[in-house]
């Protein structure tokens, strides 16, 4: 049997694409391995979202070309980077056997088969996508939509992925049910904008409608909402979340900036004022919620005053979790054409200021958890026997961990829930002991 190893770069949405692709390849009669050393074919699923990701993807392709020379494998490169730069890549990098953009990824099995004309493949594909996971067995990312119909000035996603397209609700519920049967306790709903789920369908559906169905799945404990565009966070959704026993008190809303001038130039729909109002409303309706946001520093035309507004917004709104990116010119975006580019030195120094301020905010927030007892999901066990877990306020592989210094002599498995009394708090991770 021909063995394929899939390597994935980029965000959780890419992990879902790789999982779907691996499920299809298995049904097409291939063996999936997690060991490139044992594989006949390596498929690299790339990210091309920002320059940094492009650079990383190209470096990994070059590493795999060296690996290919040594092991004589077939090398396929697929995904966002290829969708964005296929012709240039194929022109400059000759040793890749298969290049497939996002729209062509469904054909990966057929393309690979052409390299093995003597092999007989027994196809078991019946239109089912999902049966192979890259994440640990107790949590899964579930994509509810793809693409984006917004046109933020700095973003290449709409040109790579096209307009927003929701998945069929029945398919999503089926995927989640299958995951739960296989031991998944937590699902993280992902899309370019989870809050917009269903608006494009006919008849239109809503995220709340989807959540209502997911909540009835026995055995599913946590549902996490990631990447919410602010304008579709409705009162109906917030009221529903406030009463839910399964939806985590967590929401990831990338606001990008707090200066109205910059937001306008970014073609975002919010203003400084509307962001303050929305954040206050979310916190009022769902007391104790942890909010995550991401910000861009060094956007063209960002003045000292604009940057001060960004720092003021962070200081006043005190996001529990926050990530920042330094603006980079991306080919084909409107922002690339803007004048008044911020110098690298200024952008890096602004980034440092943002991260330092957030460390202080995060430390204060974490300290308030001291002596509280919180439900924690065990994620993994370190070699020295220390359990590492997470509260509902932290997304897997993205946010903070709880380091469990004493388990009271009991044994636990990933996905088990325990009550942990928090004993100490750092800027990121916190420590605690299991309370029997
Ligand atoms: S909403 Fe997000 S994915 Fe859509 S264009 Fe803006 S930044 Fe890009």
Q: In terms of Cα–Cα distance, which of 374, 361, 378 is closest to 422?
A: 374
pLDDT of res. 128: 47
Q: What is the pTM of this model?
A: 0.85
pLDDT of res. 301: 98
Strands 145-146 and 222-225: unpaired
For domain 3-113, the CATH superfamily is Methylthiotransferase, N-terminal domain (3.40.50.12160)
Strands 430-434 and 402-406: parallel
Mean pLDDT of the chain: 92
Identify whether the C-beta of residue 73 lies closer than 8 Å to the C-beta of residue 95. Answer: no
Of all residues in the chain, what percent carry a pLDDT higher than 70? 97
Helices (H), 7-92: 12-27, 51-71, 80-92
Ligand 1 atom with the shortest distance to the CA of 268: 6
Q: Which of 80, 147, 152, 231 to mutate to test the pocket of ligand 1 (most atoms within 8 A of CB)?
A: 152
Domains of the chain, by residue range, sit at 3-113, 139-367, 373-434
pLDDT tens for each residue of 246-290: 999 999 999 999 999 999 999 999 999 999 999 999 999 999 999
Mean pLDDT of 347-360: 97
Distance CA 125, CA 229 (A): 35
Of all residues in the chain, what percent carry a pLDDT higher than 90? 76
Kindly report the protein residue whose alpha carbon is nearest to atom 2 of ligand 1.
Answer: 192
Largest CA distance in the chain: 67
pLDDT above 70 (res 102):
yes
Task: Report the top-level CATH class of 373-434.
Answer: mainly beta
156 in contact with ligand 1, CB cutoff 6 A: no
Distance CA 418, CA 292 (A): 24
How far, in Å, is the centroid of ligand 1 from the Cα of 234? 19
How far, in Å, is the centroid of ligand 1 from the Cα of 362? 26
How far, in Å, is the centroid of ligand 1 from the Cα of 48? 14
Q: Which of 155, 164, 197 to mutate to test the pocket of ligand 1 (most atoms within 8 A of CB)?
A: 155
Distance CA 180, CA 137 (A): 9
158 in contact with ligand 1, CB cutoff 6 A: yes
For domain 139-367, the CATH superfamily is tm_1862 like domain (3.80.30.20)
195 in contact with ligand 1, CB cutoff 6 A: no
pLDDT of res. 19: 87
Per-residue DSSP letters for 290-356?
EEEEEEEES-TT--HHHHHHHHHHHHHH--SEEEEEE----TT-TGGG-S-PPPHHHHHHHHHHHHH
How far, in Å, is the centroid of ligand 1 from the Cα of 134? 25
Q: Mean pLDDT lowest for which of 82-86, 301-305, 406-410, 421-425?
A: 406-410
Q: What torsion, rounded to 10 degrees, do the Cα atoms 212, 216, 219, 220 define?
A: -10
How far, in Å, is the centroid of ligand 1 from the Cα of 156? 8
Band (pLDDT 50/70/90 cuts) for residue 133 is low
- For 20, the token pair is 């779907």
């Amino acid at each position: 049997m021909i063995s394929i190893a899939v390597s994935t770069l980029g965000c959780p949405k890419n992990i879902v694409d790789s999982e779907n692709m691996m499920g299809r390849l298995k049904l097409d009669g291939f063996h999936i391995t997690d060991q490139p050393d044992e594989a006949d074919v390596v498929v690299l699923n790339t990210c091309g979202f920002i320059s940094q990701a492009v650079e990383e993807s190209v470096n990994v392709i070059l590493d795999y070309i060296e690996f290919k020379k040594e092991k004589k494998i077939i090398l396929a490169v697929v995904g966002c980077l290829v969708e964005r730069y296929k012709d240039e890549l194929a022109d400059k990098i000759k040793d890749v056997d298969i290049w497939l953009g996002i729209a062509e990824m469904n054909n990966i099995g057929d393309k690979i088969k052409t390299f093995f004309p003597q092999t007989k493949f027994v196809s078991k594909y019946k239109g089912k996508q999902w049966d192979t996971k890259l994440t640990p067995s107790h949590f899964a990312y579930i994509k509810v939509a793809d693409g984006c119909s917004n046109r933020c000035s700095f973003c290449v996603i709409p040109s790579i992925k096209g307009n927003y397209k929701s998945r069929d609700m029945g398919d999503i519920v089926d995927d989640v049910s299958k995951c739960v049967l296989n031991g998944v306790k937590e699902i993280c709903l992902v899309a370019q904008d989870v809050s917009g789920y269903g608006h494009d369908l006919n008849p239109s559906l809503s995220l709340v409608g989807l959540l209502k169905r997911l909540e009835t799945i026995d055995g599913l404990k946590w549902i996490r909402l990631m990447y919410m565009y602010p304008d579709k966070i409705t009162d109906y959704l917030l009221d529903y979340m406030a009463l839910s026993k399964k939806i985590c008190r967590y929401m990831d809303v990338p606001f990008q900036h707090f200066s109205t001038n910059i937001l306008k130039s970014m073609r975002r729909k919010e203003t400084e004022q509307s962001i303050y109002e929305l954040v206050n409303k979310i916190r009022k309706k769902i007391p104790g919620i942890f909010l995550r946001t991401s910000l861009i520093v060094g956007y063209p035309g960002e003045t000292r005053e604009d940057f001060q507004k960004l720092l003021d917004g962070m200081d006043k709104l005190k996001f529990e979790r926050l990530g920042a990116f330094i603006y980079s010119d991306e080919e084909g975006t409107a922002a690339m054409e803007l004048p008044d580019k911020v110098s690298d030195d200024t952008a890096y120094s602004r980034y440092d200021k943002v991260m330092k301020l957030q460390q202080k905010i995060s430390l204060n927030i974490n300290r308030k958890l001291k002596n509280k007892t919180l439900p924690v999901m065990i994620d993994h066990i370190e070699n020295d026997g220390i359990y590492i877990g997470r509260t509902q306020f932290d997304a897997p592989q993205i946010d903070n961990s709880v380091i469990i210094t004493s388990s009271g002599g009991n044994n636990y498995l990933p996905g088990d829930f325990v009550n942990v009394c928090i004993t100490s708090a750092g800027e990121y991770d916190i420590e605690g002991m299991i309370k029997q």
